[in-house]
Structure 1
Amino acid sequence: MLIAIADVLDAGSCGRVRAMVEAGEWVDGNVTSGHQSALAKRNRQLVEGSPAAREAGAAILEALGRTPLFVAAALPLKVFPPLFNSYEGGEAFGVHVDNAVRMLRGSDFRIRSDLSATLFLAEPDEYDGGELIIETQFGERQVKLPAGHMVLYPASSLHRVAPVTRGRRLASFFWIQSMVRDEGARRTLFDLDEGVRGATAALGGEHPAVVRLTGVYHNLLRRWADA
């Protein structure tokens, strides 16, 4: 399931997050790479755990909690503290798959990476190239979204970032451990949630059909959730 989520950060919030991270310390992006990723990765990354990364990451996590589409699609149990990367001057990230388990440096916090997320912090016209290219069962999908918008996709997907040939691509990236491990079950719950919302708008929340559908949703979630 690949979902674009608009306006996770509004223009003002996005500008503040961008200012925070641009003022921080940037290092070689391979500081967080696994062996496979290190062979393909050429970018810069904000120092993990730095004051700038923590402050900007906290703003993003707060915004995610106010984004119903993210909650419905991801059913988040744990969210890895957001990281930040930068591509320019031909930098790119070749085809790779994200590590199955991510650990926070200097702590015992770890998650199973069910979903990956990229939150764009630069406008598309600020740079050429830099598309996030995700391989799906329907072929490659190219993603390049407005600043403040986010794409959510399975962490098991093969994906890459095309070379940035002009300007600078700035983004946040992170992983989510869902309450529902199975991707097919998450898709079913998401579709059912969308159906319940539509039925509620058409019939009202107290309509017997809406009440029954809501019950089905929660009973399936109860059956499938690890939390």
Structure 2
Amino acid sequence: MFLALERVLSTEEAGALRDAAAALSFGDGRASAGRFAQAVKANDQALPSPDLEAIRDKVTASLMAHPVFGTAARPKAMTRPIISRYRQGQAYGLHVDDAVMQGIRTDLSFTLFLSEPDSYEGGALIIADKIEERAFKLGAGDAILYPSTMLHRVEPVSSGTRLCAVGWVQSRIRSAEQRELLFDLDQSITALFEAEGKSDAFDTLCRTRSNLIRMWAD
């Protein structure tokens, strides 16, 4: 399941984080890549600092506060976000994320865009399934959430600078199929409540959701 999460950050918040990220010191992005991904990775990664930690805290808190992120990911643990920078000529070739990062199992990946899409050329996130490739280049403050099992790449940036925060989630619901069922059930429960309020059908669906989580949660 691919989800575009709108307004994880407001326009003002995204701008403030973009300015703060632009002032960070950056090193070679290959430092966080696995053995084989290093051969196709060419970007910059923010180096440790108190200012980086403040940005990471804001990204994490904003994601956790986003209602769609919570119901889609059902996070048990998250990595500390990486602030990535792509300048002219930089790209990240086709790869799959490591199964374990920062000590957690990677079930879901996210990219939170900090740069406005018209401020750089190229740089789309391309996610490949067995049928087609899908390109994502979202507005500043928006994020894409997708399974970490997918092959993906970042197109070369031909001009401008692409800043984003990337990270990984270990879900309480390990199965992607079960997560999607629960997400659909959540959406149906919300729609039913908005249309009819509390009812016998609403209570039954809530009970079903709770019992499924009880059965499936790690």
Alignment TM class, shorter chain as reference: over 0.9
**Shift of residue 165 of structure 1?**
0.3
Q: Which runs of 5+ in 1 are unaligned?
A: 104-109
Map 1:84-163 onto structure 2 (within 5 A): 84-103=83-102, 110-163=103-156
Counterpart-to-counterpart distance in 2, 1:170 and 1:88: 9
- Retained in 2: the 8 A contact 1:23–1:52? no
Counterpart AA for 1:117: F
Structure 1 match to 2:81:
82
Structure 2 match to 1:54:
53
Counterpart pick for 1:219 among 204, 211, 214:
211
Counterpart AA for 1:125: D
2:196 is the alignment partner of 1:203? yes
**Shift of residue 38 of structure 1?**
0.2
- Retained in 2: the 8 A contact 1:74–1:115? yes
Of residues 195-204 and 13-22 in structure 1, the stretch that sits farther from structure 2 once superposed is: 13-22
Structure 2 match to 1:42:
42
Counterpart AA for 1:134: I
Map 1:4-83 onto structure 2 (within 5 A): 4-47=4-47, 49-83=48-82
Q: What SS does the corresponding residue of 1:145 show, helix, strand or coil?
A: coil
In the TM superposition, what whole-angstrom CA distance separates every residue of 1:32-81 from its partner, at most 9, and x where no partner exists?
1101110110001101x421221101011111122100001000001111
- Retained in 2: the 8 A contact 1:86–1:169? yes
Structure 2 match to 1:178:
171
Q: Compared with structure 1, are the counterparts of its residues 65 and 90 closer, same or farther at alpha carbon in structure 2 (3 Å cutoff)?
A: same
TM (norm. structure 1) is 0.94
Q: Which runs of 5+ in 2 are unaligned?
A: none
Pairs aligned (count): 218
**Shift of residue 154 of structure 1?**
0.3
Q: What SS does the corresponding residue of 1:35 show, helix, strand or coil?
A: coil
Counterpart AA for 2:121: D
CA RMSD of aligned residues (A): 0.9
Counterpart-to-counterpart distance in 2, 1:20 and 1:125: 20
In the TM superposition, what whole-angstrom CA distance separates every residue of 1:168-199 from its partner, at most 9, and x where no partner exists?
11100000000001100001100111111111
Counterpart-to-counterpart distance in 1, 2:65 and 2:58: 11
- Retained in 2: the 8 A contact 1:4–1:149? yes
TM (norm. structure 2) is 0.98
Structure 2 match to 1:106:
none
**Shift of residue 139 of structure 1?**
1.3
